[in-house]
Amino acid sequence: MQYHATRRVRRTLAIAALSACLAAIPAAPAFAVPTGSSSGSGDTGSGTGSAGSSSGSGSSGSSSGSANFALPISSPAGLIALTAAVTQTGKPYEWGGTGPNAWDCSGLVQWAFHQAGVNLPRTSEQMAHAGYPVPLWALSPGDVVVLNSDASHVGIYVGFGQVFNAYGNGVPVGLAPLSQWEINSIRRF
């Protein structure tokens, strides 16, 4: 009898732990939102201003669920955008191209995120300041990677050191090693 009661308690605890993990997965991107970042202007690209500010008055308020660090967890919008982007594999590069027959780097990224319901700025330089900053150690598939010291190129991180991008004349839209560029910034949407 004791054995069955112990087994039932263990099963209940295991189910509760699993439920807590499953409940945390959709909320994980919210935990990955940095607040109080000292880099950039604090513009989130969402039109809502900066999140997580406090008045310091000691009054109770609701927590945004944000953390002061990014987690290495992909955002749902980033994964949707990555999925949309890879449907454009093999299409030609065209400077200023916004699809559907040819793309430039920022046109492809902007279009892909639009498919996920996220409105990004048009140029890679503007994208370098939108969304939430992500440190290199937290880079995850679906993150926007702004490249080169002048932020002149952008792509979507795929994982395994690869970025999906529209690179240049004669190079079809597709994968390239992230290591061939200098990372300017990493942004999450």
Residue 35 forms part of a structural domain: no
Residue 110 forms part of a structural domain: yes
pLDDT score at 9: 52
pLDDT score at 7: 55
Known catalytic residue at 105:
yes
Q: Where are the alpha helices (DSSP H) in 45-137?
A: 76-86, 105-115, 124-127
Residue 107 forms part of a structural domain: yes
Known catalytic residue at 169:
no
Q: How many domains does the chain have?
A: 1
pLDDT score at 2: 64
What is the residue-level pLDDT of the chain in tens, covering all 189 positions?
Answer: 665 555 565 555 445 444 444 444 444 444 444 433 333 333 333 333 333 333 333 334 444 444 556 789 999 999 999 999 999 999 999 999 999 999 999 999 999 999 999 999 999 999 999 999 999 999 999 999 999 999 999 999 999 999 999 999 999 999 999 999 999 999 999
> Which of 23, 28, 26, 30 has its CA nearest to residue 46?
30
Q: How far is Cα 174 from Cα 105, in angstroms, rounded to an integer?
A: 11
Q: One of 21, 114, 165, 169 is an active-site residue; which one?
A: 165
pLDDT score at 5: 59
Sequence-separated (6 or more) residues with CB below 8 Å from residue 177? 161, 162, 163
Sequence-separated (6 or more) residues with CB below 8 Å from residue 126? none
Residue 70 forms part of a structural domain: no
pLDDT score at 36: 39
Q: One of 21, 129, 148, 153 is an active-site residue; which one?
A: 153
pLDDT score at 71: 87
Residue 2 forms part of a structural domain: no
- Cβ(77)–Cβ(116) under 8 Å? yes
pLDDT score at 69: 63
Residue 132 forms part of a structural domain: yes
Q: One of 105, 119, 148, 184 is an active-site residue; which one?
A: 105
The CATH number of residue 127's host domain is 3.90.1720.10
Note down the domain range covering 148: 76-188
pLDDT score at 70: 74
Q: How far is Cα 82 from Cα 62, in angstroms, rounded to an integer?
A: 33
Integer angstrom CA distances of residue 173 from 41, 55, 95, 101, 127: 31, 47, 12, 11, 19
Q: Sheet harboring 144-147: ordered strands across?
A: 132-133, 183-188, 144-147, 153-159, 162-165, 174-177
Q: How far is Cα 85 from Cα 120, in angstroms, rounded to an integer?
A: 14
Which DSSP category does 188 fall into? E
Residue 1 forms part of a structural domain: no
Residue 41 forms part of a structural domain: no
